[in-house]
Every structure is written in C-alpha cells, then in structure tokens.
Chain A
Amino acid sequence: MNNNNMVVMATAAERVFHWMFAISCLLLTLTGFAFLFKNASIAGVFGGFESMKSIHNWLGIVFIISLLMSSAKWLKHPLRFDADDIRWMAVAGGYLSHKVKVPPMGKLNTGQKISYVGVLLSGILLTASGFVLWFFPELKTWFLLSFIAHNLSFLFICIFIPMHIYLGTIGNPGTFQIMTSGRISYKRAKNHYPKWVAEMETGKKVLS
C-alpha cells in the first residue's frame, strides 16, 4: 500500500455512536453539576429544574444506548492485554517524557484500553443507579445507595472527560480526524498503530 493512501480507522457507525455518547455525556455532566450545586443559571438554559430533570433522565437513555452500541464494536480492543501493555505503563506511554521508547501499540494504546473499560463500567453503574433514582424512590435504602453510586461513578467521568478531550485533540496532534473523517494516512497508521496495521495486513492476531 502507498504511504499516502488513507486507511479507515473508524467507520461511520462508530463515529456516530461516539458523538452521540460524547454529547449526551457532556450534557449529562453539565446538568448533573447544576443539580449538585443547585445552579439556577445552568438550569435556566434547560428551561428550569423540572425540565432539566426530564432532559437529564432521557439523555441517560441516549448515553447508555450509544455506550453499548459502541462497545459492541470496540470492546474487543481493550480486552486484549499483552507484555507491550506492561511496558507501556512502565514508561507512562511516553506522556511524561518524550525521550523514552514507547512499545508498539495496536488500535488502542494501554491508557485508552484502561479508560475505556473504566468508562464502560462507570457508565453501566451510572445508568443502573440512575434508573433506581428515576423509578424507585420508595426503595429507601437502595434509593440512597443508588444516589451514592451515581455520584461515585460520576467521579470517574469527571476525570475522564478533560483527559480524553485533551488527548484526543491538542495533546495528540493528528488524532482528532479519526472521529471526524474516520481516516488517517497509511504512513501515520504504521507509525502510531503498528500492531493493528500488521494484523490487518497478515490477517492474523499479533501477540507481543
């Protein structure tokens, strides 16, 4: 393949689910903070607290559907872990110093794999607890436990959002287009995702 040929890294469906998830997640976070801190100005944007509650609840449905749909496509990547992942963690993925040698990665690097599983687990916990908060207030103890679980799993999202936005944009020039056009140059793919490219070319799984 020519170095300047483009390869597809994210299909249209993958990109649609990604943005559905991203937008619902950001709006849920914003409205969630408005509830946490009783912020009337944010609530005003959503038509007051009462309608913000409905919006928050229904966005939760968009959130979990898009999360599960994208997981159906992506989950196979984070679930593969090998010796390169251990090495990646040892050098912090090269994010703390540009001098270290970063081991070759597949479609997702180790950090992405870990945070993906984290988002999936906290997303499921957020949805399950949100469901109890929405429909089962009379289950006293479970209701309160769900309230705590909702807030605890939200902490992970609070850490993930700024990190993901940064690493997906200015922190890694050239990656953002994967979620817009879905394509990158063959050369870039070979440089950044060597194991993924090799795997596609040989049609075999590459272990380390």
Chain B
Amino acid sequence: MANRKAILISPELCTGCRACQVACKAWNQLPAEKTKFSGNFASPADLSSNTLNKVRFVEAPSEDKPLRWLFVSQRCMHCEDAGCMKICPVPGAIYRTKDGAVATDPDKCIGCKLCSAACPFDVPRYGKDGKLSKCTMCADRTENSMPPACTKTCPTGALTFGDSKELIAKAKRAGYTKVYGENDLGGLGAMYAFKDAPLLYGMKENPKVPEMVVFWHKYLKPLSLISIGGVAAATLLHYAFVGPHKDKEGDDE
C-alpha cells in the first residue's frame, strides 16, 4: 500500500504502565482476565480473544546497571504480505482497511483457525464461539479519523499513530538506523524502533510467511484447478481425435 497508516512502538519510551491494554479493553468492550503471577510481570501472560494487545516485560543483561528492563507493547503486526489473509477461505472474514490495517469480520469468520497456522507472529486467537479475535488497528475508530485507542491513551509517546512513511522518517531523525517492519513482509503496520537486535525484545529477525503457506498459495492452489480442467479438456480431445473404445463386434447383439 502506497501510503499506509501504522503504529510506531518505541520501547525506549515505554514505562510499562499498560494503559494501552486498558484502553484496548475499554474501547473494544473486552472483559478483564483472571491472571496468576508466574515470575514475569507481563499480565496477562499471553494474548487471547479478550486481550488483543499486551506489554512484554523483558529482563535483559546490562553492563553498567543490574539489568535492563524492556517493555514491548505487542499486537497484530498488520502485515502488508499477511499470511492470515492468504490462507483464509472466506472472502471478507479478514480484510484490508483503506488505512492498510488487517481487520476482521467475525460474522463472516467460520472458525476454521487456518489463519493461526499462517501468521508469522502467533497473533490469531479465537473466542468461545471459535471466531478470530485480534487487533483491528481500531478500524472502527480510524474510519472516523480517530487514532487507535491504545495510541491515543499512551502517555509517554511510546505508541504513535500516523502515516507509515512519516513515522519511519521520524524514527530515523531520532537516531534509529533501522525500523523493524519498514521492509519486513512488504511493510508492517506495527513497527518498532529498537535500539538493539530485535531478538532481545522478543521479536524474530526477518519474519516470513511460513514457506508451506507460500507454496500452497503459489503452486498447489492453481495446480488443482489446472489439473481438473486440463484432464477434462484432455478427455474431450481424446473423444474427438482418438475416439471412444470401439465395441468388439457382436457385443450387444
């Protein structure tokens, strides 16, 4: 998409206040979850159908301080080359908004869960009804020229929303040589300004749509149509040019 909108996430500015999590639940009317302390401050510990974004808490080694505590706000990455959209068998169940976000229509989703197998970031979660529930980049807000709830709430500027290109330029001016998501998967709608290697923040280097999904999309899918059509055409040609099997004389006297 030529000029898509994006969320730029700057972990260096994040204080781990989790206001983005609260804002997301408030806007999307999602209930809180019962959580348990399991040795990490991330709460809830994982995304779910009721938790569309969360802050990851990373304890990283540091040379001059006891440790570096990194806060990484995560959600659907709104991939330009989105595995979930490729594999979904229902038109419109996952769709692209005019801002370039990857939004969902639960009324159309049939709960086949194929999208979970095609997402490089392990984002799709399913509700009790079996339907996909994930961040839509607040499509219902952005359509009305309002920024996503989480970015609107963020008090430190760790989450900002705007034109993808402008956000990248801004991050570069602030001294980040690389922006995670600038070129990955054709450009991501959730980008990170990382000071160190993405792996340290819990993000994979060079994310890719699973090869099997690409293979299926590019070759297997068209091949099935070509096979059935090709063989059907071949039988007609056979009938016309070679002719059917002749009855042996006297078969049906």
**A residues engaging B (CB < 8 A)?**
3-4, 29, 33, 35-38, 40, 49-50, 53, 94-98, 133, 137, 140, 143-145, 147-148, 151-152, 154-155, 158-159, 161-163, 165-167, 170-174, 185, 187-188, 191-192
Contacts and interface: CB of A to CB of B under 8 A. Distances in A.
A192 B220 CA distance: 38
Contact of B89 (A49, A137, A159): A49
A162 B232 contact: yes
A162 B229 CA distance: 8
Interface string B63-94: 00000000000000000000000011111010
Interface of B: 87-91, 93, 108, 110, 112-114, 116-118, 210, 212-213, 215-216, 220-221, 223-225, 227-228, 231-232, 234-235, 238-239, 242-248, 250-253
B214 to A, nearest CB: 11
5 contacts: A36-B221, A147-B212, A171-B245, A185-B251, A187-B251
Contact of A187 (B91, B227, B250): B250
A94 B247 CA distance: 13
Contact of A53 (B110, B117, B253): B110
B231 A97 contact: no
Contacts of B231: 158-159, 161-163
Contact of B228 (A3, A162, A171, A173): A162
A192 B246 CA distance: 11
A192 B248 contact: yes
Contacts of B110: 49-50, 53
A192 B175 CA distance: 83
B221 A170 contact: no
Contacts of B242: 95-98
B228 A158 contact: yes
A49 B212 contact: no
Given A97-B242, A191-B251, 17 more contacts: A36-B224, A36-B225, A37-B225, A38-B90, A49-B89, A49-B93, A49-B108, A95-B238, A137-B116, A148-B216, A155-B224, A163-B231, A167-B235, A170-B239, A171-B244, A173-B244, A191-B250
A171 B246 CA distance: 9
B247 A166 contact: no
A140 B224 contact: no
Contacts of B253: 3-4, 187
Nearest to A166: B235
B108 A151 contact: no
A161 B231 CA distance: 9
Residue from A38, A158, A187 having most chain B Cβ neighbours under 10 A? A158
A158 to B, nearest CB: 4
Contact of B244 (A36, A148, A155, A172): A172
Contacts of A151: 216, 220-221, 224
Contacts of A95: 238, 242, 245
